[in-house]
Amino acid sequence: MKDYRLHIRVKNNYLLTAMERAGFWTAAELCRAFPELKQQVVGKALNLQLSLYNTRGATRPVWVKLSNALRCLPEDLLPPQHAESPLLTNAGNTEVSFDEIETFLPSGVGPALLPDDVIEQNELHAAIEGVLDTLTPREKKIVELRFGLNGEEESTYQVIADEFGLSNARTQQIEQKAIRKLKHPSRTRAIIGFVDPDPPKTGVFVADDPDYVQERLKREEEWRRQQRERRAARISDGR
Protein backbone atom coordinates (compact mmCIF):
# COMPACT_ATOMS: atom_id res chain seq x y z
CA MET A 1 0.00 0.00 0.00
CA LYS A 2 1.31 3.46 -0.89
CA ASP A 3 1.22 6.48 1.37
CA TYR A 4 -1.16 8.82 -0.43
CA ARG A 5 -4.25 8.70 -2.61
CA LEU A 6 -4.58 11.50 -5.16
CA HIS A 7 -7.73 12.55 -6.97
CA ILE A 8 -6.76 13.63 -10.48
CA ARG A 9 -8.95 15.64 -12.83
CA VAL A 10 -7.70 16.17 -16.39
CA LYS A 11 -8.40 19.48 -18.11
CA ASN A 12 -7.88 20.69 -21.67
CA ASN A 13 -4.70 22.76 -21.31
CA TYR A 14 -4.87 23.90 -24.95
CA LEU A 15 -8.25 25.55 -24.42
CA LEU A 16 -7.41 26.82 -20.93
CA THR A 17 -4.24 28.49 -22.21
CA ALA A 18 -6.09 30.13 -25.11
CA MET A 19 -8.76 31.40 -22.69
CA GLU A 20 -6.21 32.80 -20.25
CA ARG A 21 -4.32 34.58 -23.03
CA ALA A 22 -7.61 36.23 -23.99
CA GLY A 23 -8.27 37.23 -20.37
CA PHE A 24 -10.88 34.61 -19.46
CA TRP A 25 -10.26 32.48 -16.39
CA THR A 26 -13.47 30.48 -16.29
CA ALA A 27 -16.04 29.16 -18.72
CA ALA A 28 -18.62 31.40 -17.06
CA GLU A 29 -16.61 34.54 -17.89
CA LEU A 30 -16.13 33.40 -21.49
CA CYS A 31 -19.82 32.64 -21.96
CA ARG A 32 -20.86 35.98 -20.51
CA ALA A 33 -18.65 37.73 -23.07
CA PHE A 34 -19.88 35.52 -25.93
CA PRO A 35 -23.55 34.60 -25.30
CA GLU A 36 -23.60 32.29 -28.31
CA LEU A 37 -21.44 29.89 -26.25
CA LYS A 38 -23.26 27.61 -23.81
CA GLN A 39 -21.48 27.00 -20.51
CA GLN A 40 -22.44 23.34 -20.34
CA VAL A 41 -20.93 22.65 -23.77
CA VAL A 42 -17.80 24.69 -23.05
CA GLY A 43 -17.44 22.65 -19.86
CA LYS A 44 -17.36 19.46 -21.91
CA ALA A 45 -14.70 20.96 -24.15
CA LEU A 46 -12.63 21.87 -21.09
CA ASN A 47 -13.05 18.33 -19.75
CA LEU A 48 -11.95 16.82 -23.11
CA GLN A 49 -15.32 15.07 -23.39
CA LEU A 50 -16.21 16.60 -26.74
CA SER A 51 -14.49 15.60 -29.97
CA LEU A 52 -13.45 18.16 -32.58
CA TYR A 53 -15.39 16.41 -35.34
CA ASN A 54 -18.93 15.09 -35.51
CA THR A 55 -19.94 11.74 -37.02
CA ARG A 56 -19.92 13.27 -40.52
CA GLY A 57 -16.35 14.46 -40.11
CA ALA A 58 -17.28 18.14 -39.89
CA THR A 59 -15.95 20.43 -37.17
CA ARG A 60 -18.46 20.80 -34.37
CA PRO A 61 -20.00 24.31 -34.21
CA VAL A 62 -18.86 24.88 -30.62
CA TRP A 63 -15.21 24.58 -31.62
CA VAL A 64 -15.76 27.04 -34.45
CA LYS A 65 -17.42 29.49 -32.04
CA LEU A 66 -14.61 29.04 -29.54
CA SER A 67 -11.96 29.60 -32.19
CA ASN A 68 -13.70 32.78 -33.34
CA ALA A 69 -13.96 34.05 -29.77
CA LEU A 70 -10.33 33.22 -28.96
CA ARG A 71 -8.95 34.14 -32.42
CA CYS A 72 -7.30 30.89 -33.31
CA LEU A 73 -7.96 27.73 -35.32
CA PRO A 74 -10.30 25.05 -33.92
CA GLU A 75 -7.45 22.54 -34.15
CA ASP A 76 -5.42 24.70 -31.75
CA LEU A 77 -7.93 24.25 -28.94
CA LEU A 78 -7.43 20.62 -27.96
CA PRO A 79 -4.72 17.95 -28.04
CA PRO A 80 -4.60 16.25 -31.45
CA GLN A 81 -5.06 12.79 -29.94
CA HIS A 82 -8.51 13.85 -28.71
CA ALA A 83 -9.76 15.38 -31.95
CA GLU A 84 -11.70 12.19 -32.65
CA SER A 85 -11.37 10.42 -29.30
CA PRO A 86 -12.91 12.31 -26.36
CA LEU A 87 -12.45 11.09 -22.81
CA LEU A 88 -15.25 9.04 -21.29
CA THR A 89 -14.28 10.52 -17.92
CA ASN A 90 -11.67 13.09 -17.01
CA ALA A 91 -11.25 12.15 -13.35
CA GLY A 92 -9.72 9.29 -11.42
CA ASN A 93 -7.70 8.26 -8.37
CA THR A 94 -4.13 7.09 -8.07
CA GLU A 95 -1.86 6.08 -5.20
CA VAL A 96 1.67 7.45 -4.77
CA SER A 97 4.50 6.92 -2.32
CA PHE A 98 6.19 9.52 -0.15
CA ASP A 99 9.01 9.89 -2.71
CA GLU A 100 6.62 10.20 -5.65
CA ILE A 101 4.37 12.85 -4.15
CA GLU A 102 6.90 15.65 -4.73
CA THR A 103 6.22 15.22 -8.45
CA PHE A 104 2.69 16.47 -7.82
CA LEU A 105 3.52 19.25 -5.37
CA PRO A 106 4.94 22.74 -5.91
CA SER A 107 8.71 23.05 -5.68
CA GLY A 108 9.96 24.02 -2.28
CA VAL A 109 7.41 21.97 -0.35
CA GLY A 110 9.48 19.70 1.84
CA PRO A 111 8.57 16.71 4.00
CA ALA A 112 8.06 18.96 7.05
CA LEU A 113 5.05 20.57 5.34
CA LEU A 114 3.39 17.42 4.15
CA PRO A 115 1.37 16.62 7.28
CA ASP A 116 -0.14 20.11 7.48
CA ASP A 117 -0.44 21.13 3.84
CA VAL A 118 -1.21 17.86 2.12
CA ILE A 119 -2.45 15.19 4.48
CA GLU A 120 -4.88 17.46 6.33
CA GLN A 121 -6.23 18.88 3.07
CA ASN A 122 -6.68 15.40 1.62
CA GLU A 123 -8.52 14.34 4.77
CA LEU A 124 -10.69 17.44 4.58
CA HIS A 125 -11.51 16.77 0.94
CA ALA A 126 -12.43 13.19 1.77
CA ALA A 127 -14.65 14.37 4.63
CA ILE A 128 -16.42 16.94 2.44
CA GLU A 129 -16.84 14.39 -0.34
CA GLY A 130 -18.34 12.00 2.18
CA VAL A 131 -20.83 14.65 3.28
CA LEU A 132 -21.78 15.42 -0.32
CA ASP A 133 -22.28 11.71 -0.95
CA THR A 134 -25.10 11.71 1.60
CA LEU A 135 -27.15 13.78 -0.86
CA THR A 136 -29.04 12.24 -3.75
CA PRO A 137 -27.00 12.12 -6.99
CA ARG A 138 -29.05 14.98 -8.45
CA GLU A 139 -28.72 17.13 -5.33
CA LYS A 140 -24.96 16.54 -5.22
CA LYS A 141 -24.48 17.44 -8.86
CA ILE A 142 -26.55 20.61 -8.53
CA VAL A 143 -24.52 21.73 -5.50
CA GLU A 144 -21.26 21.00 -7.34
CA LEU A 145 -22.36 22.97 -10.38
CA ARG A 146 -23.82 25.84 -8.38
CA PHE A 147 -20.72 26.38 -6.22
CA GLY A 148 -18.04 25.20 -8.66
CA LEU A 149 -16.93 22.13 -6.71
CA ASN A 150 -14.97 19.04 -7.77
CA GLY A 151 -13.64 20.71 -10.89
CA GLU A 152 -17.02 21.87 -12.15
CA GLU A 153 -17.48 25.42 -13.38
CA GLU A 154 -19.59 27.64 -11.11
CA SER A 155 -22.90 27.76 -12.95
CA THR A 156 -26.02 29.88 -13.01
CA TYR A 157 -29.45 28.47 -12.20
CA GLN A 158 -30.34 28.69 -15.90
CA VAL A 159 -27.36 26.55 -16.96
CA ILE A 160 -28.13 23.94 -14.31
CA ALA A 161 -31.84 23.98 -15.14
CA ASP A 162 -31.07 23.38 -18.83
CA GLU A 163 -28.78 20.46 -17.99
CA PHE A 164 -31.42 18.71 -15.87
CA GLY A 165 -34.46 19.77 -17.87
CA LEU A 166 -35.90 21.70 -14.92
CA SER A 167 -37.28 25.18 -14.33
CA ASN A 168 -35.13 27.76 -12.54
CA ALA A 169 -37.52 27.69 -9.59
CA ARG A 170 -37.35 23.90 -9.27
CA THR A 171 -33.54 24.01 -9.48
CA GLN A 172 -33.43 26.52 -6.62
CA GLN A 173 -35.77 24.35 -4.56
CA ILE A 174 -33.51 21.33 -4.97
CA GLU A 175 -30.43 23.39 -4.12
CA GLN A 176 -32.07 24.82 -0.98
CA LYS A 177 -33.17 21.36 0.15
CA ALA A 178 -29.62 20.04 -0.35
CA ILE A 179 -28.15 22.96 1.61
CA ARG A 180 -30.57 22.31 4.48
CA LYS A 181 -29.39 18.71 4.56
CA LEU A 182 -25.72 19.80 4.56
CA LYS A 183 -26.34 22.13 7.51
CA HIS A 184 -27.65 19.30 9.70
CA PRO A 185 -25.33 18.55 12.66
CA SER A 186 -25.17 14.87 11.68
CA ARG A 187 -23.32 15.98 8.55
CA THR A 188 -21.39 19.05 9.73
CA ARG A 189 -19.77 17.13 12.60
CA ALA A 190 -17.78 15.17 9.98
CA ILE A 191 -15.82 18.31 9.12
CA ILE A 192 -16.05 20.29 12.36
CA GLY A 193 -12.54 19.19 13.35
CA PHE A 194 -11.03 21.01 10.38
CA VAL A 195 -12.28 24.49 11.30
CA ASP A 196 -11.40 27.11 13.89
CA PRO A 197 -13.26 26.21 17.11
CA ASP A 198 -13.83 29.91 17.89
CA PRO A 199 -17.43 30.93 17.14
CA PRO A 200 -18.14 33.69 14.61
CA LYS A 201 -18.90 37.22 15.79
CA THR A 202 -22.62 36.58 15.67
CA GLY A 203 -22.25 34.08 18.51
CA VAL A 204 -23.49 31.20 16.34
CA PHE A 205 -21.27 28.13 16.45
CA VAL A 206 -19.46 27.47 13.18
CA ALA A 207 -21.23 24.20 12.43
CA ASP A 208 -24.63 25.91 12.71
CA ASP A 209 -23.72 29.02 10.72
CA PRO A 210 -26.14 29.13 7.73
CA ASP A 211 -23.28 30.06 5.38
CA TYR A 212 -20.70 27.69 6.86
CA VAL A 213 -21.09 24.69 4.56
CA GLN A 214 -21.12 26.71 1.33
CA GLU A 215 -18.09 28.77 2.36
CA ARG A 216 -16.09 25.74 3.48
CA LEU A 217 -16.77 23.87 0.28
CA LYS A 218 -15.73 26.86 -1.83
CA ARG A 219 -12.52 27.35 0.19
CA GLU A 220 -11.62 23.69 -0.31
CA GLU A 221 -12.19 23.93 -4.05
CA GLU A 222 -10.09 27.11 -4.23
CA TRP A 223 -7.20 25.34 -2.50
CA ARG A 224 -7.38 22.46 -4.95
CA ARG A 225 -7.49 24.89 -7.89
CA GLN A 226 -4.32 26.59 -6.64
CA GLN A 227 -2.61 23.23 -6.25
CA ARG A 228 -3.49 22.30 -9.84
CA GLU A 229 -2.09 25.60 -11.12
CA ARG A 230 1.15 25.14 -9.20
CA ARG A 231 1.57 21.60 -10.50
CA ALA A 232 0.91 22.78 -14.06
CA ALA A 233 3.48 25.56 -13.68
CA ARG A 234 6.04 23.11 -12.36
CA ILE A 235 5.46 20.69 -15.24
CA SER A 236 5.68 23.49 -17.84
CA ASP A 237 8.98 24.62 -16.30
CA GLY A 238 10.35 21.09 -16.58
CA ARG A 239 10.82 20.67 -12.85
Backbone angles phi, psi at 188, to 5 degrees: -65, -25
Q: Domain ranges in the chain? A: 4-82, 109-236
Q: Among 190, 168, 178, which residue's Cα sits nearest to residue 141?
A: 178
pLDDT at 199: 42
What are 8's strand-pairing partners?
92
Q: Do residues 181 and 214 make contact, with C-beta atoms less than 8 angstroms apart?
A: no
* CA angle at 129 for the pair 28 and 198, rounded to the nearest 5°: 95
Which has more confidence, 155 or 175? 175
Q: What is the CATH code of the structural domain delimited by 109-236?
A: 1.10.10.10
CATH topology for 4-82? 434 Repressor (Amino-terminal Domain) (1.10.260)
pLDDT tens-digit series, residues 130-146: 888 889 999 999 988 88
pLDDT at 108: 43
Which has more confidence, 170 or 215? 170
Count CB neighbours of 5 within 10 A: 12
Segment among 62-71, 131-140, 153-162 with least mean pLDDT: 153-162
**Average pLDDT value for residue range 28-53:** 90
Question: Distances from the Cα of 63 to the Cαs of 10, 16, 54, 57, 89, in angstroms?
Answer: 19, 13, 11, 13, 20
Q: Among 17, 12, 38, 36, which residue's Cα sits nearest to residue 27?
A: 38
Q: How does residue 202 score in pLDDT terms, banded at 50, 70 and 90? A: very low
The reply to whether 109-236 shares the fold of 4-82 is no
